Structure 1
Amino acid sequence: MDRLTILNRLKAEAPGLRERYGVKSLAVFGSMARGDDREGSDVDMLVTFTEKATFDNFMGLKLDLEDLLGRPVDLGTPDTLRPEMRAEVERDLIHVP
C-alpha cells in the first residue's frame, strides 16, 4: 500500500477514530511520510489524545490502525519522543485532517 492510499484511508477513518478513542490529532512520520518506505515497513504515527490516554485507548487505536493499514504501526505520543529525534520527527509529520 502506497503513501497516498494510507493517507486516504486514515483521512476516511479519522472521524471514527477520534470519537472512539478520544484522538485530538494524528500524524504520520518516518519512512512512510518521506516516501522511502519499503515492502513490509511499519507506519510510524504520532497521536495526541483529548484527555490523558488510557492503556485501552492507546492499544485499541494501535490495533485498529494496524487492521486498517495492513501493516505494523509504531504509535507514539509527543511526550514519548526522544529529545534528539524531535526535530526530525516534526520535520516529517504529515497530519491527518
Structure 2
Amino acid sequence: MCPRCKSRLWDAPVIRPVRRGIGLGVDDIIKPKREEMAEALARHKARNPKVFGSIARGEATKNSDLDLLVEFDARASAFDQTALINDLEDVFGRRVDIAEPGGLHWLIRPQILFEAVSV
C-alpha cells in the first residue's frame, strides 16, 4: 500500500531485469567528463552520483536526457540544486534531471536503485 495515497493497486514493486542496450552509455557520455561533473557536484554540495535511466542501460541516443541520483549536503539550498542542474546541462550538452533517493516514489524506487550505476 502506498504510504501517501493509500493505493492498493500494487502491493509490491516488481524489479525488472536490466538489459544493456547498444546505444550510448556511461562510458560514452559520463566518463569523458567525469572530472567536470565532480567539480560541479562539489561546488553545489552534492555527492554520491549515480546514473539511472537510458544512459545506465546503454540505450541513450544523442537526444536522451541524463538522469542522476545524488545526495545533497544538509547545507544545500534549492539554489544549489537548480544551479547544479544548469551546470551539468552545460557540461554534458543535454537535459539533466536530478533526484534524491529519498524523494523517489515507493513504487519506482526499487527499480531505479537496482539499475543505478555509480560514477
Normalising by the smaller structure, the TM-score range is 0.7 to 0.9
Structure 2: segments with no counterpart, 5+ residues = 1-23
Distance 1:47 1:19 in 2: 11
Higher helix share: 1
Indicate how the Cα distance of structure 1 residues 61 and 36 shifts in structure 2: closer, same or farther if over 3 A, else same: same
| 1:36 alignment partner, SS class | coil
Distance 2:55 2:89 in 1: 14
User: Once superposed, which parts of structure 1, at least 4 consecutive aligned residues long, lie more than 3 Å away?
Assistant: none
Which residue, out of 19, 25, 30, partners 1:7? 30
Note the C-alpha offset of 1:89: 0.3
Indicate how the Cα distance of structure 1 residues 28 and 20 shifts in structure 2: closer, same or farther if over 3 A, else same: same
Higher relative contact order (CA 8 A, sep 6+): 1
Rg larger for: 2
CA RMSD, 1 decimal:
1.9
What residue in structure 1 maps to residue 61 of structure 2? 38
What are the within-5 Å matches in structure 2 for residues 1-97 of structure 1?
2-3=24-25, 4-96=27-119
Note the C-alpha offset of 1:16: 1.4
CA contact (8 A) 1:27 1:94 kept: yes
TM-score for both structures, normalised by structure 2: 0.71
| 2:30 alignment partner, SS class | helix
Distance 1:39 1:7 in 2: 13
Give the percent of matched residue pairs that are identical in Structure 1 and Structure 2.
32
